[in-house]
Structure 1
Amino acid sequence: MSHPTHLVALYRLPAYTFPGPGERTDDLPDPDSFAWRITSDVYDADEEWTAAFARFCDAVDTTRVKALIVGAWKEAYDTDPSDVVEALLAARDRFPALRALFLGDMESEECEISWINQTDVTPLLEGFPALEEFGVRGGSGLRLTAVSHGELRRLVVESGGLPAEVVRGIGGSDLAALEHLDLWLGTSEYGGDSEAADLEPLLSGARLPRLRHLALRNSEMQDAVAAAVACAPVVARLEVLDLSMGVLTDEGAAALLGGQPLTHLKKLDLHHHYLTEPMQDRIRQTLETVGVEVDLDRDDADEDADDDGTVWRWVAVGE
């Protein structure tokens, strides 16, 4: 099992954690040179996230800030970030240069990804129409309804289980500038109740005319996703297709190879898979020989079998 780690960069800017309470803030770096990570503590916090954000706004020239990373908030395993969202929206006029926002940047020691409580993030996209990148970690309680956003180029939703309502909301959104979409679909055990049919609006590409990088990964239904992708209109204009981190077997890979040609891709990412060696060889012979970069690293994708023959396989990121 893999675990998410803190972002090291956002919007091509290195991450910098704003000092905690009692620490110096008189020697901070240039506001537009870093992605600012504002965080509290999940357990026994000495300072609420909103108080840390208020200190940040007082200490930094927010008119020059390009990227914000929302780290931990108090009791994230039991409390959603509604007050965080409200604080960000209340301060939006102070951030005219903001182009990137990530909500929920927590490692497993702070809060397991499927324990992170989320909220409706639609108001953030509506309230920051100049955002070019938006990301969120955690699927419990997450909501994102259909929205129209003309500037968003990158959308990332990391979860151990992504609600079907969120998948449908993204599928129903008009995102004319979106180039990079990354969805961690997860498992039913952690709330991932979407089906391959829910992906159809995304796979048609009708509302995503500029999409070049599509990642539908970390899914227990990776075979069904691969089969749906095999005949999806959007694939013809992709440069990168990412079906990694999930329970992909020979069945899904055969469906993918049996569909439309993938030889136009720059990269096919299938790392963390359950493919046999013959199928891996077939993929390499089909794609690597024509210049497509293929990632077939198995990582920690080990499987177990019960005495009755039942085989157990896992996604890369669950709990």
Structure 2
Amino acid sequence: MTINEHLTEFAGKPVANFRYEHDGESSSDYYGPNFLEPPASAGDVTWRVATWFDGPGFGDVFQKFLDEVETAEVTHLVIGYWGASYDKGVPDPVELLVGAAGRLPALRALFLGDIVMEEAEISWIEQSDVTRLFNAFPGLEHLEVRGGEGLELRPFQSRVLRTLRFESGGLPATVVRAVGESDLPALEHLDLWLGTDNYGGDATTADLAGVLDGERLPALRHLGLEDAEIADEVASAVAGAPIVARLESLSLAMGALTDRGAESLLSGQPLTHLRRLDLHHHFLTDSTMDRVRGSLPGVEVDLDEQESPNGDWFYIAVSE
């Protein structure tokens, strides 16, 4: 699977590209026009701010956005391509956001890294310490981050965060542990793309302990532990995890799940209370797929994308 389309909707609001002119070119040439009519209020849409190859510095684009849009009304923001990882002087978007926090007092939803394959592979997206965002934007209810290179997270507290997603071909174990050590009483939706050790995904099931015991996540209703090379081990840990009993949906999709992992799920605690179980992109045999479906009557089970190993290589959906 590749990520080759930019967001057109985010957290319930349509995305409008902020238009920037530079040397006879504009962001519209690369990302399409601002396809929405000018909003009556800057808070009616999700604003997408990005530069492009050989385009202006992202810092200049972001500053123009701050100067031209009524940012005090902005509630939803998408940060796209901010420059090639090998270029010197590429700004840290988190630092820019934190510095502009006073001009974005209403920010509630943020996607950091709406960057597609043609701009940078997911493993090339260089992130930083995103913990700073929660200090700068205490009202943040929805955060999604793409890319794991250099990504840092320290345990934090938020009484309002409802959705947290990390998309990565390799999620650092320190980030996984920090999520489990954070106090998030309002969090309802959590997705972690664990990835592969080849791209920095060094988390083990022990690192998931804080998430799986659920003590700090009393409101969680959806859990995604996805794109995992260690999907079988994750399935085994999930089978006895206290948090599962209160979930409405569970996803172990996009990973290297085999019959061994599916057997762990089926022999563990009941999953019949789930509304949905997502296992798409897997390596289950036909007979095991039938067993999973038959064991979970009334549960919507996604078993699409039955894969075949490449020799003895069981691959995940998103890595490089």
- TM-score relative to the length of structure 1: 0.92
The residue number in structure 1 matching 2:309 is: 303
Which residue does 2:51 correspond to in 1? 40
Segments ≥4 residues shifted beyond 2 Å: 1-5, 22-25, 27-30, 76-83
Q: What amino acid is aligned across from residue 12 of structure 1 in structure 2? A: G
Is 1:147 aligned to residue 148 of structure 2? no
Letter in 2 for 1:161: G
The alignment partner of 2:257 has SS state of coil
Cα offsets for 1:91-121 (capped at 9, x unmatched): 1122222100111110000000011111111
Partner of 2:12: 12
Find the residue that maps to 2:288 and give its secondary structure. helix
8 Å CA contact retained: 2:84, 2:90: no
Q: Aligned to 1:28, which of 28, 35, 38? A: 38
How far residue 71 of structure 1 moved from its aligned partner, in angstroms, is 0.2
* 1:218 match: secondary structure: strand
Matched, 1:165 2:174: yes
1:175-190 paired onto structure 2 within 5 Å = 175-190=184-199
C-alpha change, 1:166 and 1:71, in structure 2 (3 Å) is same
Mapped partners of 1:201, 1:183: distance in 2 = 13
The equivalent residue for 2:146 is 137
Query: Which secondary structure state, in structure 2, belongs to the residue aligned with residue 304 of structure 1?
Result: coil
SS, match of residue 21 in structure 2: coil
Q: What is aligned with 2:66?
A: 57
Secondary structure of 1:314 counterpart: coil
Change (3 A) 1:282 1:78: farther
Task: Answer whether contact 1:138 1:159 (CA < 8 A) is retained.
Answer: yes
Query: How many residues matched?
Result: 308
Given residue 228 of structure 2, which amino acid in structure 1 is its aligned partner?
S
Q: Tell me, yes or no, if the aligned pair for 2:58 and 2:91 is still in contact at 8 Å.
A: no
- Once the two structures are superposed, the pairs formed by residues 281-296 of structure 1 within 5 Å of their partners are 281-287=290-296, 289=297, 291-296=298-303
Partner of 1:308: none
Task: Give me the whole-angstrom Cα distance separating, in 2, the residues matched to 1:116 and 1:189.
Answer: 15
The equivalent of 1:318 in structure 2 is: 319
Deviation at 1:88, TM superposition (A): 1.1
The amino acid that maps onto 1:243 is: L
Q: Is 1:110–2:116 an aligned residue pair?
A: no
Do the aligned partners of 2:214 and 2:243 also contact (CA within 8 Å) in 1?
yes
Quote the offset at 1:2 in angstroms: 3.2
In the alignment, structure 2 segments of 5+ residues that lack a partner are 29-33
Question: 1:153–1:179: 8 Å Cα contact kept in structure 2?
Answer: yes
TM-score normalised by L of structure 2? 0.92
Matches within 5 A, 1:221-260: 221-260=230-269
Tell me which amino acid in the other structure corresponds to 1:314.
Y
The alignment's C-alpha RMSD in Å is: 1.7
Which runs of 5 or more residues in structure 1 are unaligned? Answer: 306-310
Q: Structure 1: how far apart are the matches of 2:92 and 2:301?
A: 43
Shift of 1:194: 0.7
Taking a change above 3 Å as real, the CA distance of residues 318 and 4 of structure 1, as seen in their structure-2 partners, is farther
Counterparts of 1:63-102 in structure 2, within 5 Å, are 63-76=72-85, 83-102=92-111
Deviation at 1:20, TM superposition (A): 2.1
Task: Tell me the secondary structure at the aligned position of residue 104 of structure 1.
Answer: strand
CA-to-aligned-CA distance 1:189-211 (integer Å, 9 cap, x gap)? 00101101100110000000000
Aligned in 2, Cα 1:286/1:153: closer, same or farther, shift over 3 Å?
A: same
Amino acid at match of 1:145: R
Measure, in 1, the Cα distance between the counterparts of 2:87 and 2:169: 17
Tell whether the 8 Å contact from 1:65 to 1:95 is kept in structure 2 after alignment: yes
Q: Give 2:50's aligned amino acid.
A: T
Measure, in 1, the Cα distance between the counterparts of 2:133 and 2:174: 17
Deviation at 1:83, TM superposition (A): 3.1
Partners of 2:148 and 2:169 within 8 A in 1: yes
Which residue identity is paired with 1:296?
L
2:57 and 2:90 in contact (8 A); partners too: no
CA apart distance, 1:77: 5.3
| CA distance, structure 2, for counterparts of residue 237 and residue 80 of structure 1 | 47
